[in-house]
């Protein structure tokens, strides 16, 4: 290549570089749009299939993995109940998922 590139040639090379960068960005943008539409169609298709296959009755929610069941709270806020359960688990040195709390009731005297 010529070591003494003129101003016009330098501007031409710069413009060519910018055009190439924008062309690649446009191709990437088109690819992302196409992939998003394809995934939306797939998600909509599976949603329609699951909606038609779902039974009419409402199932009870499944317990979390490692959970030992639900707990009934009587006049106790959720935050206080969670704190009490954490304190009991800490004092017993037992993981919380191995303990079973049936109910928590505030005792006022």
Element (H, E) at 25: helix 7-53
Residue 22 has phi, psi (to 5 degrees) of -65, -35
Position 66 in a domain: no
The better pLDDT of the pair 89, 31 is held by 31
Position 65 in a domain: no
Half-sphere exposure of 86 (CA within 13 A, CB side): 6
Average pLDDT over residues 19-31: 98
pTM over 0.85: no
- What's the pLDDT score for residue 100? 81
Same domain, 42 and 95: no
Same domain, 51 and 87: no
Position 76 in a domain: yes
pLDDT in tens, 41-95: 888 777 766 665 555 566 666 655 655 667 788 888 889 888 888 898 889 888 8
**pLDDT confidence band for 27 (50 / 70 / 90):** very high
Position 36 in a domain: yes
Position 67 in a domain: no
Domain that holds residue 51: 1-59
């Amino acid at each position: 290549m010529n070591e003494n590139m003129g101003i016009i040639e330098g501007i031409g090379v710069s413009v060519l570089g910018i055009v190439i960068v924008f062309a690649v960005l446009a191709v990437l943008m088109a690819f992302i749009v196409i992939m998003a539409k394809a995934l939306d169609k797939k998600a909509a298709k599976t949603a329609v299939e699951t909606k038609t296959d779902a039974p009419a009755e409402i199932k009870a929610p499944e317990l979390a993995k490692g959970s030992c069941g639900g707990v009934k709270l009587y006049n106790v806020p959720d935050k206080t109940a969670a704190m009490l359960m954490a304190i009991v688990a800490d004092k017993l040195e037992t993981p919380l998922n191995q303990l079973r709390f049936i109910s928590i009731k505030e005792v006022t005297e």
